[in-house]
Structure 1
């Protein structure tokens, strides 16, 4: 039977104890990790993309995306504290609804994290080229700073060299070690929060701030139309990208000290802290210089990242538009006359966005690691470096894939594709929480979702709503990627699965010992 392989929860917990990554992270580091991912591309880069989709209604988009994230975070907090192991939604699904659905979730997460890291790398490149090199009087040619038009990039673009380089540098840092990476992340998060606080203060108190710039507030309406990806809900589907930080926190549960206490704090705390910044920064940017989208002949906003929008933005009348900027926050301050502060914001983004890339690649490699540990992917991928104690093989593979995607594709398209996988994984976590409440109601829960039979269904509804308001190309990418995953699963993984072979492995590669616990193999 296809749906009969459900990994025993006790075996998963035993595996976490015997074959685990080094536990080095506390609640403070987890919270910083969440903040490091949540506050990043959504503000420093995607503010322009969101404004192009929804105009001033971007503020409603943040509220919608935040509401979905809050209910999803509650589901994550319960299940991550109860199952404190690497693998996030993949592992949770394996212990509740079985191997087949767990595979689809893990496969979607592999896509989500890698493409998201690529998107942030492209966003970092915009600040590097505009603020850092521009401040030095260096004009990086288009063919070295943007992806080709054939892939939705810029006319004259060939390769985004800065994006490729930063992805490779972050990969090197992650190979060196988790604890070292977390310390660097803490410094970058502090820089980011200070910079955004300064931005909010300068824009909201500026003499050029005018409430009239919010009119019309919803130029494309609440719903821009199915598959268009515009309107407030369409923008929310894109801006959801910036909230994946709390999911990355849950993937670090196996490397966390006292995970039953620290994981819920890291998940909920980072999300609550960050949501305030999203709305305040959006209000400051739009109220200061305006944020109306560039419309097509049908009266709808042009697709973000499209060649037509790139052509329109090259025209003199749109030279100063928020929606056309590759470094929107620095651009806003420069337009207000705060050139020095604008450069400082650009420098902060230049320094801080690598922390987002770091967290995303970190999360992706841990999904890869645990799927390999279960036999669904080649086991040599879960090899741990003898000196650095990190899964160096999957980290290097992931980093190379991220670098290649960042070199050729624009940020908006990458973010929307990543969101498709994110929303699917979040929906499956909500389902897993409800299944466990029915199947294993007596198991100790260090954090319980209040009103789970309301919160979990709301999570599912919210994820489905946002998914169907992504651009059609992004919606279609997920099932296309899923078909490839099914070929891998039925061609390799189902045969090699430890659970399918009747073995639940409890093993520590570092310790060099192996204990195989036989169980009754399920029928094919």
Structure 2
């Protein structure tokens, strides 16, 4: 039978029961944890991309993405409180729906974590290069982006040699070297087992909040109402398309739900932490977006034929160069460090550089957390026999899963070297949306199959919230660009080939290997998130 391999929930729970974790986290600590995990990626990286897709309508896009994340988070929290062990959505799906779908979720999470890490690495590169430029150091364009490479690929596949495309080919770069460097640096840190202290993370949270607060305080007073007209130049399609991309800015809230085992009164504090952090982040996002739009405008760029250009495309890069060459101010939608650009445009270049510095300081920790999450998923899947057990090998000196970490780092570096940030974020979102979709299904299935099981936190109005999460994930997925929509089924098909040709015959559950259902995962020593 295809769906008869379900990993015993009781056996999985045995892992948590063997550990006695102190319940010390309250609602305030959980809210701060969520804010720290969420803020630091999308708002620094994707503001310009969202503006190109929706114009001022990106304000509504932030609200749509925040709502979908909110209902998905409530579903996630119930399962996390019941199964507070490693593996994230992969483990939950294995326990409820079975091995095939768990494999597909784990396979999709590669898009969320590894590709997401690549997107953040490119965002860091953009801010680092911009910060150097502000200090008078001009980093060569040839090795700080891959616009020329993308233009060359498009021409090879028969694209018309438009002026914008030819401009990108002439002045663009061929590889994003800073993104490769930061991905390699984080990989090295994970291999040698660098410990991230709670104090260091708290400092980063303060830096990020301070930078965004300064941006809001300086931009809202110079807001011009006419910059919001037309509000949605690309219509509802553009608003939802931007929401699908902005979804990336909210990923990380699961840090709250996975802390359920260490939370006092989880029935009360988990929802407060989840919803509180998402509400606060959404308010920050809307205020930042309002300031950016109101200060300098955010209308999308169009081609010579009047068509709205795709953000991150070679044509878009060429059009942005042409606009600047005409002596016009660089539009918000063209900036690779949008918040810094806005502050410089309204007379605060020094504060803008400090905001850029905040992004440069904060984003590597986000890359680290995403790559750590990816290695943990791979590690868990290898322990289940679904991936080669060699991947779960721990380094004899550093006590970290060095093989899978190096593989993940290499893959993330290659993607970051050649793809723009928006495209990477969209690819990452396709995997994340699928994982959240499966979590919403799993929580409903488990309510029906095992209603009497103790739930430290129960999703309120489950039969309303879970369907809303499912519908929201489907709508945002279908609102992604066509290439990102196609990535998920193509990637999934590759995953099924791997599963049926290798993993299914080696699965510990399928082979009935003793201890595979309840044995503790060996810890990854030296890495503390």
Give TM-score scaled by structure 1 length: 0.89
Identify if the C-alpha distance between structure 1 residues 472 and 21 changes in structure 2 by more than 3 Å, giving closer, same or farther: farther
The one of 421, 429, 440 aligned to 2:450: 440
Identify if the C-alpha distance between structure 1 residues 68 and 94 changes in structure 2 by more than 3 Å, giving closer, same or farther: same
Secondary structure of residue in 2 paired with 1:222: helix
Aligned to 1:204: 220
Matches within 5 A, 1:21-420: 32=32, 34-131=34-131, 133-151=132-150, 155=169, 156-177=172-193, 179-180=195-196, 182-206=198-222, 209-223=223-237, 231-247=238-254, 250=257, 257=262, 261=266, 267-296=274-303, 299-315=306-322, 316=324, 317=326, 319-385=329-395, 390-420=400-430
Q: Could you give the per-residue CA deviations for residues 41-99 of structure 1, whole angstroms, max 9, x where no partner exists?
A: 31112000000000000000001111111100111111111110111111111111110
Secondary structure of residue in 1 paired with 2:173: coil
Secondary structure of residue in 1 paired with 2:508: coil
Secondary structure of residue in 1 paired with 2:10: helix
Deviation at 1:510, TM superposition (A): 4.9
Deviation at 1:159, TM superposition (A): 1.4
Deviation at 1:431, TM superposition (A): 0.2
- Are the equivalent residues in 2 in contact too, given 1:189–1:355 (CA < 8 A)? no
Aligned to 1:522: none
Deviation at 1:32, TM superposition (A): 4.9
RMSD of Structure 2 on Structure 1 (CA): 2.6
- Are the equivalent residues in 2 in contact too, given 1:173–1:181 (CA < 8 A)? no
Counterpart-to-counterpart distance in 1, 2:473 and 2:2: 25
Counterpart-to-counterpart distance in 2, 1:453 and 1:44: 35
Aligned to 2:466: 456
Using the TM superposition, name which of 82-91 and 51-60 deviates more. Answer: 82-91
Aligned to 2:492: 482
- Are the equivalent residues in 2 in contact too, given 1:77–1:268 (CA < 8 A)? no
Using the TM superposition, name which of 292-301 and 95-104 deviates more. Answer: 292-301
Q: Could you give the per-residue CA deviations for residues 368-398 of structure 1, whole angstroms, max 9, x where no partner exists?
A: 1211111111223223456655433322321
Q: Could you give the per-residue CA deviations for residues 248-290 of structure 1, whole angstroms, max 9, x where no partner exists?
A: 555x559x74598486665444323311111110000000110
Counterpart-to-counterpart distance in 1, 2:232 and 2:503: 48
Deviation at 1:116, TM superposition (A): 0.8
Identify if the C-alpha distance between structure 1 residues 373 and 29 changes in structure 2 by more than 3 Å, giving closer, same or farther: farther
What runs of 5+ residues in structure 1 fail to find an aligned partner?
224-230, 512-524
Using the TM superposition, name which of 290-299 and 274-283 deviates more. Answer: 290-299
- Are the equivalent residues in 1 in contact too, given 2:147–2:314 (CA < 8 A)? no
Using the TM superposition, name which of 262-271 and 87-96 deviates more. Answer: 262-271
Counterpart-to-counterpart distance in 1, 2:243 and 2:409: 28
Identify if the C-alpha distance between structure 1 residues 31 and 493 changes in structure 2 by more than 3 Å, giving closer, same or farther: farther
Counterpart-to-counterpart distance in 1, 2:505 and 2:82: 29
Q: Could you give the per-residue CA deviations for residues 337-366 of structure 1, whole angstroms, max 9, x where no partner exists?
A: 011111111111111111221221122122
Counterpart-to-counterpart distance in 1, 2:303 and 2:39: 31
Task: Report how many residues are paired.
Answer: 498
Q: Could you give the per-residue CA deviations for residues 230-256 of structure 1, whole angstroms, max 9, x where no partner exists?
A: x10010011001111113555x559x7
Using the TM superposition, name which of 268-277 and 92-101 deviates more. Answer: 268-277
Identify if the C-alpha distance between structure 1 residues 128 and 333 changes in structure 2 by more than 3 Å, giving closer, same or farther: same
Counterpart-to-counterpart distance in 2, 1:113 and 1:249: 17
Deviation at 1:307, TM superposition (A): 1.0
- Are the equivalent residues in 2 in contact too, given 1:161–1:407 (CA < 8 A)? yes
Secondary structure of residue in 1 paired with 2:510: coil
Aligned to 1:507: 519
Counterpart-to-counterpart distance in 1, 2:352 and 2:68: 32
What runs of 5+ residues in structure 2 fail to find an aligned partner?
153-167, 524-529
Identify if the C-alpha distance between structure 1 residues 490 and 29 changes in structure 2 by more than 3 Å, giving closer, same or farther: farther
Deviation at 1:507, TM superposition (A): 3.3
- Are the equivalent residues in 1 in contact too, given 2:297–2:332 (CA < 8 A)? yes
Secondary structure of residue in 1 paired with 2:415: helix
Counterpart-to-counterpart distance in 2, 1:149 and 1:259: 54
Identify if the C-alpha distance between structure 1 residues 235 and 303 changes in structure 2 by more than 3 Å, giving closer, same or farther: same
Using the TM superposition, name which of 272-281 and 491-500 deviates more. Answer: 272-281
Structure 1: which 4+ aligned runs deviate by more than 6 Å? 20-25, 27-30
Aligned to 1:426: 436
Aligned to 1:519: none
Secondary structure of residue in 1 paired with 2:519: strand
